[in-house]
A and B are shown apart, each in its own frame.
Chain A
């Protein structure tokens, strides 16, 4: 319980995140109808990996089906825009499949026919070197779906002879520092790497006590536990929607081994990026 300044006593949310009384009661008092509803919801929230042409589900996980030496994952719209402009336009990438999932963040209630303008999660491989994979994930993968996503993509037999690179953004207010966050030179890059990643990062490592959540954390945890070399590049920015300056903050990664050989024409890529920005800007004007 906590008292507010207005003299009322309110139930403060527990930091431990436990609504345990309710959950315990639920477990004991769950009727068959409740159970059915819960299972139905779980089925609706299931993560499905579909093949490109046939749109049928993959029987095994993506990386069990295809050999992989390098896997680059972009999570969030700015990271996706970066890979689109700089990496995908420098080579011929073929779509291998996509992940379909639904959660409360999706703007549509139709779970089977998510259109192409909706948030997506698509997997590509390089035609000239099919063991190089890329994932563009602009949809939000909820807590209960993150492990499912890992299962469907990585499977249960982890292979150590591949290198994973993850790119994502975080709001600068998530960054804890002894200075004020207002004085930070955002956007800026930080990195987190697993024990088996032996190369150096192109930016400082994330200082204590900062942590990372959500899908990037799920992937990195998986890699750390199963000893796969992986690095996460985190861009702290104060603009969470698609923004030129934020995307350009990822540029130092172009010179690292993770993206070596995958980037050809940088000036052309910058042009493509600018075009991407303008198409989005027009939509965001509330007067048109």
Chain B
């Protein structure tokens, strides 16, 4: 249930709720951290349930000595009234058998609070993509300054992020035969029917890829097709429940592998930004993109403490 920080519950009518799904690589949660930290959103309450593993720590978005001693728990709600945004951050995993009750409690709060729409940030196992989703067999044709050098690079991309070609090389797909083989994006979106009515045009103009249906049971060839989000945690449950409850929900996800998922999180917030325009549009300079999102102070030491000096 939602418990406000102050005495009365804030009015969230018409707001957009951004929330993560606890999913592979924790990409949704990392993306939420970036959004809350960059927009300097203020905490308005807690989403207190018995469904998430308890954890506490001091303010993860601390910027000064003064604000570094506020206690944070596992599920908190932040808001930015000027942009009509409210963000829910989840910081721990579900207790066994409690993920469905959590979805129910969450969606009933969404309905009662009057939020206009929900955007779920999530991720899915990149190794579980089917052939259509992989679609990354492509031909590189490099042209250097002096003369064109043709290099056929057949690369199966198990990685979710494709780097742009190194400087000095231009890539162009000159053979029309190969036009259908240009590399696909690792990002996908999903809209509930009630959301489709309002934002379909905007999404179409962004040229985004909708999440494809795949076989419900991959091993069986004649099983039905349905939306599957392996590694997405409660994403599918939230989506299905929202469809049936007629809640306006959009799911934005990226195909990722576990590892250093900060670049994936940055990619996901940029993807979200294309639609919501939280920050100014991206210029062509790739070096600017990473620095405009404020990394929270709690992201230090993500891979453990310092090493003993005697090790070297």
B residues with CB within 8 A of A? 3, 22-26, 46, 48, 50, 53-60, 62, 68-71, 73-74, 93-97, 99-100, 127, 230-234, 236-237, 257-258, 297-302, 304-309
Contacts and interface: CB of A to CB of B under 8 A. Distances in A.
B23 A209 contact: no
Contacts of B25: 15-16
A217 B233 CA distance: 24
Interface in A123-181: 143-144, 146-147, 173, 175-181
Given A12-B258, A210-B57, A220-B71, A183 B24 contact: no
Interface string A209-220: 111111101101
A123 to B, nearest CB: 20
B308 A18 contact: no
Contacts of A266: none
Contacts of B257: 1
A15 B261 CA distance: 11
Given A14-B24, A15-B258, A16-B22, A208 B62 contact: yes
B50 A147 contact: yes
B1 to A, nearest CB: 10
Contacts of A27: 100
8 contacts: A18-B22, A180-B309, A192-B56, A208-B59, A211-B57, A217-B54, A225-B46, A225-B48
Contacts of B302: 209
A194 interface: yes
A183 B99 contact: no
A181 B306 CA distance: 7
A33 interface: no
Given A14-B258, A18-B231, A183-B308, A213 B54 contact: yes
Main secondary structure of the interface of A (DSSP, over half): mixed
Given A182-B308, A218-B54, A195 B71 contact: yes
A147 B58 CA distance: 21
A179 B96 contact: no
A221 interface: yes
B51 to A, nearest CB: 9
B279 to A, nearest CB: 24
Contacts of B230: 21
Given A176-B304, A208-B62, A209-B299, A225 B73 contact: yes
Interface in A176-228: 176-183, 192-195, 205-215, 217-218, 220-221, 224-226
Interface string A1-20: 11000000000101111101
A105 B196 CA distance: 50
Given A146-B54, A209-B299, A17 B94 contact: yes
A194 B73 CA distance: 10
A221 B73 contact: yes
A271 interface: no
A183 B308 CA distance: 8
Given A1-B127, A192-B71, 20 more contacts: A15-B25, A16-B93, A18-B24, A23-B97, A23-B99, A176-B301, A177-B305, A177-B306, A179-B305, A180-B309, A183-B308, A192-B58, A193-B69, A193-B71, A194-B71, A208-B298, A209-B300, A212-B55, A220-B73, A221-B56
